[in-house]
Structure formats: C-alpha cells, structure tokens
Amino acid sequence: MRIAHVAIWTADLDRLVAFYSRYFGAAAGAKYINPRRRFESYFLTFEDGARLELMRIPALRDVAPAGEGIEDAGLAHLAISTGSESAVDELTEKLRADGHRIVAEPRRTGDGYYESIALDPDGNRIEITI
C-alpha cells in the first residue's frame, strides 16, 4: 500500500492552487465540480508524483452528516491506495469487523474513484481507494 494523496479543505481554491503551484511547483489538473453537492476540487501533482487534493464546499457543517469530521478548512483526509477494488472492499470489512467506524461504504464517486471512508481511532478520515 501507499499514500495516494492528502486532502485539504479550503474556502478559496484558486488561492491555494496558486500557492502550491508558485512555491512548490505543483501542477493543477482539471477542476472537478459536483453540482449536486456544490463540491469543487483540484488535484495537484508534484514532480515526484505525490498528489494533494484541494477541496471546497459551501457551508460544510450544513451538508455533512454528524460525526464525519468535516471542517471548514484544514486536513480533510488521508487517502491510502490499496491497488484494487477488491482490496478496498476487504480492508473496509476488516476495519468494520475490528470495530472501526465506516462513514462511507465502498462506492464509485462522481469523479470515477472507487473508495470507502473509515475513521481512525482519533476520528480522522481515512479514504481507502484503489
């Protein structure tokens, strides 16, 4: 397994894209927009292949189910790449069986990712993805 990306909530996507591009040489991909959730994000890729996801959604506390740990700004989640859909499913079930909270069941997202989301013991969101 490897860390797939780290995600940060922000109120100003363009400001953070410019910051990470200017000072750290990150290249921004196409902007993703989910109109139903009013969610927007960019994936930034660094020279070594590491990726950072910058995300924005209006009134986060109003749209997130209670206890999901979504804040207005700051760390959103740590994404761990498992290598396959079946590995996502298996790890999700192992975490559930061991008593860890699953806040999003395995699914294909609007931007094509296959993922689930679990909370670590401190309540941080761990996105389990291919």
Q: What is the CATH number of the domain that holds 10?
A: 3.10.180.10
Q: What is the pTM of this model?
A: 0.70
Query: What is the dihedral sign for C-alpha 11, 14, 17, 20?
Result: negative
pLDDT above 70: residue 125: yes
Render pLDDT for 57-97 as a digit per residue (tens, 0 to 9).
776 555 555 445 455 577 889 899 999 999 999 999 999 99
Query: What is the dihedral sign for C-alpha 116, 107, 33, 2?
Result: positive
Counting the structural domains of the chain, the total is: 1
The DSSP result for 34-58, as a single string, is: ETTTTEEEEEEE-TTS-EEEEEE-T
Report which of residues 101 and 11 the model is more confident about: 101
- Write down the mean pLDDT value for the chain: 88
Residue 123 is given by DSSP the state S
Whole-number pLDDT of residue 72: 59
Q: Domain range spanning residue 115? A: 2-129
